[in-house]
Amino acid sequence: MELKRLGVSWRFLMVLVLILQSLSALDFDPYRVLGVSRTASQADIKKAYKKLAREWHPDKNKDPGAEDRFIQISKAYEILSNEEKRTNYDHYGDAGENQGYQKQQREHRFRHFHENFYFDESFFHFPFNSERRDSGDEKYLLHFSHYVNEVLPESFRRPYLIKITSDWCFSCIHIEPVWKEVVQELEGLGVGIGVVHAGYERRLAHHLGAHSTPSILGIVNGKITFFHNAVLHENLRQFVEGLLPGNLVEKVTNKNYVRFLSGWQQENKPHALLFGQTPAVPLMYKLTAFAYKDYVSFGYVYVGLRGVEEMTRQYNVNLYTPTMLIFKEHINKPADVIQARGLKKQVIEDFIAQNKYLLASRLTSQRLFHELCPVKRSHRQRKYCVVLLTAETNKESKPFEAFLSFALANTQDTVRFVHVYSNRQQEFASTLLPDMEAFQGKSGVSILERRNTAGRVVFKTLEDPWTGSESDKFVLLGYLDQLRKDPAFLSSEAVLPDLTDELAPVFFLRWLYSVSGYLSDLWESLLHSNCKIPKKGFVEVTELTDVTYTSNLVRLRPGHMNVVLILSNSTKTSLLQKFALEVYTFTGSSSLHFSFLTLDKHREWLEYLLEFAQDAAPIPNQYDKHFMERDYTGYVLALNGHKKYFCLFKPLKTVDEETVASCDPDSSRGKPSCGLGPKPLKGKLSKLSLWMERLLEGSLQRFYIPSWPELD
């Protein structure tokens, strides 16, 4: 009897929770939050949102309820700015992501309610209200600036798995148990995790190309790939593994291990071998290989394969314990070994980080020179580089072998040993060798210390060519001993030229593509441009609107560009006059068109484009109290509609503008701390004509976009 009562009470409690949640959902009215009618246009909704967002932004409004109010405003705008969500809300009372799916779910649950009081457990474990949802996602939340400045650059060292979620999304709740389980595993292996709330980070969700929630995507090397499969643990794991390049780890057997380990000379890298007990390469090892792909070549040996006994005997590998070996210049003996039953990610990464350079690496690029021979920071942080300048040979020479044995015997942390092929880096070698004729066809050794990043060094070169004899080693040892006692021993001074990048990937193809692009643009320019003498006594400038957008940009003929001035209603007259004066001499080109775009109407369109020009324009952040007040007037964009790229002119601030910008914007509530009035426009476009010349030369930086956004 007691059990029956308990069962009835539990069912009643479940029904009560459902009713309270339904009432809570019904209580939220996005129209009432924004203060607009149900027939309001998108322009009215956007205007109301901007006004309320300025008023209730937590950084500007100190009211205790400002943050909750701001979240409600953002949530309301998320629903009403999306026609599909708005229609769903008008029809069904919520903003479900999958059209009528939520209605079917409600009807399904309602039938169960009448029949046997059965409810989906996920409805109670993961409530719709995001404030009460599991806070596990909070530490992974991404903002636009964080994504641009940290996630994108880091995706070249580790893959990222990102979930796009939102409120009022039943499917988001349904996948949470699997998502948590996958995150717990993959994060431990080194995969980056991110969560984007589409309601509060609409801009980032739009930038990623996520048009519905939930969405899951991966990012590797800056490239975005969407997950299109059932949300299961194994599927997500395979998805992340599939994001990685296929050639990260080479399968090594007794037939190819000598060739693999001998590749150190050509690749200028140590080689790592993992001996494992599974036929497939472990994901953790692949992730480590991706993180250190620029420094180490990775191989994998399956110990269950027939014939590997030769390797395991030679290198004394325990078949029953995972073993990792690092090989440098000598392939007969590993430079370092690690062996443990449970090789953890951090242990492997520390092991690789300590062995990511050869004993005497070849300087093949300026980046490697910076890493191996860092600039002197203080007297206690001196770093000396002993450089062997030698001719390139197909086989190991006596001078190099002697230099390598000397480096192996070195015990000083302040000294690094490197070598340079003097025939590949001739300017670098000639700067360090006092008499090139005396060293013609021979090797030389210099000791140097870098003083700044501009190339200034102090150095001392051994007087005689380096032959690798015992007397040469004795002389070098004496130099290093004197240097340890007196840093002023390095008496010569010079400015070294930058090293040529010997291992630049597909350099020829890059050059070929750039040349072909230049020739293509040149041909289009010659084909469509008659002369540059102005044909009219005025400049024809049209406004870029939703009516003229397609013809003036999207369907622009190949070789044609639209030069667009950004202005506001208050600066329209003065900026257009200055713009006309600056571009008048270029109106003779039939391939150039001139337009203006009003910032008051199309700010979002402009800011979307500027996302692709991070180095040229600051990115506004919606949590910045000035995020809706950033001044883009005077910006000019040259848009190539056919090839989907643009060039950007960004006006320099004048002294007067900086003075105005330094005024406190909040001071307008009381007495302003500086003079009121429009921001000065004098000189905003003064450099535009020079920029136009570079535009026609084809020497401006181009920012490519996947597609032209719609102009609302």
Residue type, 174: H
User: Are residues 705 and 690 part of one domain?
Assistant: yes
Over residues 463-481, mean pLDDT:
91
Mean per-residue pLDDT over the chain, rounded: 79
User: Are residues 485 and 406 part of one domain?
Assistant: yes
User: What percent of the chain is modeled with pLDDT above 90?
Assistant: 27
d(CA 582, CA 563): 12
Strand (E) or helix (H) holding 42: helix 42-56
| Least confident stretch, 129-143, 328-342, 525-539 | 525-539
User: Are residues 426 and 381 part of one domain?
Assistant: yes
Looking up residue 409, the CATH number of its domain turns out to be 3.40.30.10
Over residues 628-649, mean pLDDT:
86
Q: What is the CA radius of gyration of the chain?
A: 33
User: Are residues 269 and 151 part of one domain?
Assistant: no
Does residue 691 surpass a pLDDT of 60?
yes
- Flag whether 446 is in a domain: yes
Q: Which residues make Cβ contacts (< 8 Å) with residue 15, sequence separation at least 6?
A: 113, 117
Domain edge (last residue) among 243, 273, 303: 243
For the chain, give the number of residues.
Answer: 712
User: Are residues 349 and 218 part of one domain?
Assistant: no
User: Are residues 274 and 204 part of one domain?
Assistant: no
User: Are residues 329 and 236 part of one domain?
Assistant: no
Q: Which residues make Cβ contacts (< 8 Å) with residue 249, sequence separation at least 6?
A: 281, 285, 286, 289, 298, 299, 300
Which DSSP letter does residue 556 get? P
d(CA 249, CA 281): 8
Over residues 526-542, mean pLDDT:
57
Does residue 129 surpass a pLDDT of 90?
no
Contact 296, 261 (CB under 8 A): no
User: What percent of the chain is modeled with pLDDT above 70?
Assistant: 77
pLDDT, tens digit (0-9, with 9 covering 90-100), for 606-624: 888 888 775 433 444 444 4
pLDDT tier at 179, thresholds 50, 70, 90:
very high
Does residue 676 surpass a pLDDT of 50?
no
CA angle 485, 489, 495 (to 5 degrees): 135
Strand (E) or helix (H) holding 2: helix 2-27
Contact 455, 410 (CB under 8 A): no
Helix, strand, coil % over all residues of the chain, rounded to 5: 40, 15, 40
Q: Which residues make Cβ contacts (< 8 Å) with residue 635, sequence separation at least 6?
A: 565, 566, 606, 617, 648, 649, 650, 651
d(CA 386, CA 372): 11
Residue 329 CA neighbour count, 13 Å, CB half: 20
pLDDT, tens digit (0-9, with 9 covering 90-100), for 22-31: 444 456 788 9
User: Are residues 459 and 384 part of one domain?
Assistant: yes
CA angle 706, 708, 711 (to 5 degrees): 150
- Indicate the number of domains in the chain: 5
Confidence (pLDDT) at 334? 93
Over residues 298-319, mean pLDDT:
89
Neighbour-count burial of 265, counting CB atoms closer than 10 A to its CB (0-12 exposed, 13-18 middle, 19+ buried): middle
* 318 or 136, which is more confident: 318
Token pair in block for residue 223: 């490239």
Domain edge (last residue) among 212, 243, 274: 243
Does residue 547 surpass a pLDDT of 90?
no
User: Are residues 218 and 269 part of one domain?
Assistant: no
pLDDT, tens digit (0-9, with 9 covering 90-100), for 208-228: 888 888 899 999 998 899 998
Confidence (pLDDT) at 426? 87
Confidence (pLDDT) at 666? 43
* 540 or 94, which is more confident: 540
Contact 96, 86 (CB under 8 A): no
Phi, psi of 421 (to 5 degrees): -80, 110
Does residue 432 surpass a pLDDT of 50?
yes
| Least confident stretch, 81-85, 290-294, 301-305 | 81-85
Over residues 575-585, mean pLDDT:
87
Confidence (pLDDT) at 104? 41
Does residue 665 surpass a pLDDT of 50?
no
Strand (E) or helix (H) holding 296: none
d(CA 475, CA 649): 59
d(CA 107, CA 87): 19
Sign of CA dihedral 423, 426, 430, 432: negative
Contact 156, 291 (CB under 8 A): no
User: Are residues 286 and 344 part of one domain?
Assistant: yes
**Nearest partner of 205 among 97, 303, 339, judged by Cα:** 97
d(CA 66, CA 54): 11
Contact 539, 569 (CB under 8 A): no
Compute how many other C-beta atoms are within 10 angstroms of the C-beta atom of residue 189. 17
- Flag whether 530 is in a domain: no
- Flag whether 17 is in a domain: no
Helix/strand/coil for 118? coil
Contact 41, 80 (CB under 8 A): no
User: Are residues 350 and 231 part of one domain?
Assistant: no
pLDDT tier at 124, thresholds 50, 70, 90:
very low
Over residues 112-121, mean pLDDT:
36
The verdict on whether omega for the bond into residue 282 sits within 30 degrees of 0, i.e. cis, is: no
Domain edge (last residue) among 331, 355, 379: 355
Give the residue numbers spanning the domain of 366: 361-495
Strand (E) or helix (H) holding 177: helix 176-189
| Least confident stretch, 117-131, 155-169, 472-486, 691-705 | 117-131
Confidence (pLDDT) at 158? 94
Q: Which residues make Cβ contacts (< 8 Å) with residue 693, sequence separation at least 6?
A: none
Token pair in block for residue 260: 């693999």
- Flag whether 109 is in a domain: no
Contact 575, 634 (CB under 8 A): yes
- Flag whether 284 is in a domain: yes
Contact 276, 228 (CB under 8 A): no
- Flag whether 382 is in a domain: yes
Q: Give CA separation, 404 vs 397, 408, 410, 422, in Å.
A: 11, 6, 10, 17
Over residues 282-290, mean pLDDT:
93
- Flag whether 38 is in a domain: yes
pLDDT tier at 394, thresholds 50, 70, 90:
low
User: Are residues 273 and 216 part of one domain?
Assistant: no
Unique residue bearing structure tokens 């209603």: 569
Over residues 527-533, mean pLDDT:
43
Cβ-count burial 468-507 (b if 16+ within 10 Å, e if not): beeebbebbeebbeebeeeeeebeeeeebeebeeeeeeee
Cβ-count burial 294-311 (b if 16+ within 10 Å, e if not): ebbbbbbbbbeeeebeeb
- Flag whether 619 is in a domain: no
Phi, psi of 487 (to 5 degrees): -60, -20
Contact 325, 315 (CB under 8 A): yes
d(CA 446, CA 465): 10
* 548 or 18, which is more confident: 548
d(CA 194, CA 94): 26
d(CA 192, CA 186): 8
Does residue 692 surpass a pLDDT of 80?
yes
Confidence (pLDDT) at 563? 94
Looking up residue 47, the CATH number of its domain turns out to be 1.10.287.110
| Least confident stretch, 438-447, 459-468, 596-605, 650-659 | 650-659
Over residues 652-658, mean pLDDT:
53
Confidence (pLDDT) at 286? 94
Compute how many other C-beta atoms are within 10 angstroms of the C-beta atom of residue 59. 13
Over residues 256-283, mean pLDDT:
91
pLDDT tier at 327, thresholds 50, 70, 90:
very high
d(CA 335, CA 358): 10
